[in-house]
C-alpha cells in the first residue's frame, strides 16, 4: 500500500492541535507503515506531546517563506490552519500565500483550508476578507484544494453567557436572529476527516456548522436549563449595547468589534445550518446545551 503523508499546520495552536490529535487517535497503532503525520509550528517545544505520539513535528514560520519548502517536504495532503487573529489583514494574507506557494513547491497534491462561513458580500465581509483572499490564492495556485467554511465557534457563547449571568440580562440587537455555532473541536474533527479522504472535486466548499441556529432567546433558555439561572433577553440599540460592554469592563475597541459581530448576526450572516459536517464525519455536531453543560463549572457564578 502506498504511503500517504498528511501534514497539519499550526499544531501548537488550538485548532491545529485538536486536528492533529484526532488524526493520532484514529490510528491507535501509531503513525507507521502506510501513513505518516507531519505537524508544523513556530514553536515545536509546545508540541512535544504530539512528537511523543509519533507526529513528525517540524518548525515552520509563515513569515519566513525560505524555510517552508523543507517544512512541507514529503507531504501529500496539507491542512492549512489560518494564522492567529492578531495577524489579521495584509500580514495574515501574505502568510497564507507563503504557505500555499511552499506547498506547491513541495509537491503537495491537495490543501484543506480552514476558512470562514462568510463571503465578500456578507454583513461580516470585513471579518471574512482574509479568508476570501486566501481562497482566491488557492484557486490561483492551481493546486487541488477543499475549503471548510466554519460558522462562529461555539466558544464565543461562553463569554456571552458569562456577561449575561453576571448582569442577569442578555443584551442583543435581535433576539430572534440565529447563529449556527459549532464547537472548535468539531471543526478540527472535520478538518482531520477532510485531510484523510477526498471529498468531491477540487475547489469544493464544505460548510461546517452546528445542528441549529441558536437565537439569544434559545441561549437564555439553555443557560437556565444548564445552570438554573434566569436571564432576561433585552433588545437594545448599538449604542446601548456598546455602552454596556464598556461598562462591563471591556476596552472600547473590543466592545466595538463585538457590536460589529452582533450587527452581522442580527442581519442573519451566521444563521445557515448545513448537514455537511455529518456527511463528512459520520457524526452529529454538538449542540449549545451540551456545550454549556460541558463548561458548566466555568460558567457558574463566583467561579
**Cell numbers 457524526: residue:** 283
- How many beta carbons lie within 10 A of that of residue 38, not counting itself? 24
- Sheet with 4-9, strands from edge to edge, namely 56-59, 35-41, 4-9, 77-80, 110-116, 144-150, 204-208
Residues 155 and 303 in one domain: yes
Q: Does residue 190 lie within any of the structural domains?
A: no
Tell me the β-bridge partners of 113: 80, 147
Residues 6+ apart with CB under 8 A from 163: 170, 245, 248
**Cell numbers 460541558: residue:** 294
Q: Does residue 196 lie within any of the structural domains?
A: no
We report the CATH number of the domain holding residue 27 as 3.40.50.720
Residues 144 and 239 in one domain: no
Q: Which pLDDT value is given to residue 1?
A: 41
Q: Which pLDDT value is given to residue 138?
A: 95
What domain range is 108 assigned to? 4-150
Residues 169 and 124 in one domain: no
Residues 166 and 134 in one domain: no
Q: Does residue 116 lie within any of the structural domains?
A: yes
Residues 168 and 106 in one domain: no
> Residues 81-111: pLDDT tens digits?
998 888 889 999 999 999 999 999 999 999 9
Closest CA to 288 of 188, 186, 166, 198: 186
Q: Does residue 188 lie within any of the structural domains?
A: no
What's the CA gap between 172 and 152, in Å, rounded? Answer: 16
Q: Does residue 289 lie within any of the structural domains?
A: yes
**Cell numbers 485531510: residue:** 195
What's the CA gap between 20 and 241, in Å, rounded? Answer: 39
Residues 177 and 214 in one domain: yes
> Residues 184-235: pLDDT tens digits?
999 999 999 999 886 656 778 999 999 999 999 999 999 999 999 999 999 9
- Looking at the chain, the number of H-run helices and the number of E-run strands are 13, 9
Q: Which pLDDT value is given to residue 206?
A: 94
Q: Does residue 278 lie within any of the structural domains?
A: no
Ranges in the chain, pLDDT < 70: 1-3, 28-34, 198-201, 302-303
Residues 136 and 253 in one domain: no
Q: Does residue 199 lie within any of the structural domains?
A: no
Closest CA to 98 of 48, 58, 62: 62
Q: Which pLDDT value is given to residue 28?
A: 53
Tell me the β-bridge partners of 116: 150
Amino acid at each position: 500500500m502506498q504511503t500517504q503523508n498528511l501534514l497539519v499546520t499550526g499544531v501548537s495552536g488550538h485548532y491545529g492541535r485538536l486536528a492533529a490529535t484526532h488524526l493520532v487517535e484514529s490510528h491507535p497503532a501509531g503513525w507507521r507503515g502506510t501513513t505518516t503525520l507531519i505537524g508544523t509550528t513556530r514553536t515545536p517545544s509546545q508540541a512535544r506531546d504530539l512528537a511523543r505520539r509519533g507526529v513528525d513535528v517540524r518548525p515552520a514560520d509563515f513569515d519566513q517563506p525560505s524555510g517552508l519548502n523543507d517544512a512541507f517536504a514529503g507531504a501529500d495532503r496539507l491542512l492549512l490552519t489560518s494564522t492567529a487573529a492578531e495577524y489579521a489583514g495584509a500580514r495574515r494574507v501574505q502568510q497564507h500565500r507563503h504557505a500555499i506557494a511552499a506547498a506547491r513547491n513541495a509537491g503537495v497534491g491537495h490543501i484543506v483550508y480552514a476558512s470562514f462561513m462568510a463571503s465578500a458580500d456578507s454583513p461580516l465581509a470585513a471579518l471574512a476578507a482574509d479568508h476570501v483572499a486566501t481562497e482566491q490564492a488557492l484557486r490561483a495556485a492551481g493546486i487541488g484544494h477543499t475549503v471548510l467554511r466554519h460558522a462562529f465557534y461555539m466558544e464565543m457563547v461562553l463569554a456571552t453567557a458569562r456577561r449575561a449571568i453576571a448582569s442577569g440580562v442578555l443584551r442583543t440587537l435581535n433576539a430572534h436572529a440565529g447563529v449556527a455555532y459549532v464547537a472548535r473541536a468539531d471543526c478540527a474533527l472535520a478538518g482531520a476527516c477532510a485531510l484523510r479522504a477526498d471529498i468531491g472535486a477540487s475547489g469544493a466548499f464544505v460548510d461546517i456548522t452546528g445542528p441549529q441556529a441558536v437565537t439569544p432567546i434559545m441561549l437564555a433558555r439553555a443557560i437556565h436549563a444548564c445552570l438554573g439561572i434566569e436571564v432576561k433577553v433585552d433588545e437594545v440599540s448599538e449604542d446601548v449595547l456598546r455602552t454596556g460592554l464598556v461598562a462591563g469592563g471591556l476596552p472600547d475597541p473590543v466592545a466595538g468589534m463585538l457590536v460589529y459581530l452582533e450587527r452581522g448576526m442580527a442581519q442573519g450572516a451566521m444563521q445557515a445550518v448545513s448537514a455537511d459536517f455529518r456527511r463528512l464525519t459520520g457524526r452529529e455536531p454538538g449542540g449549545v446545551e451540551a456545550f454549556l453543560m460541558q463548561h458548566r463549572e466555568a460558567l457558574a457564578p463566583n467561579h
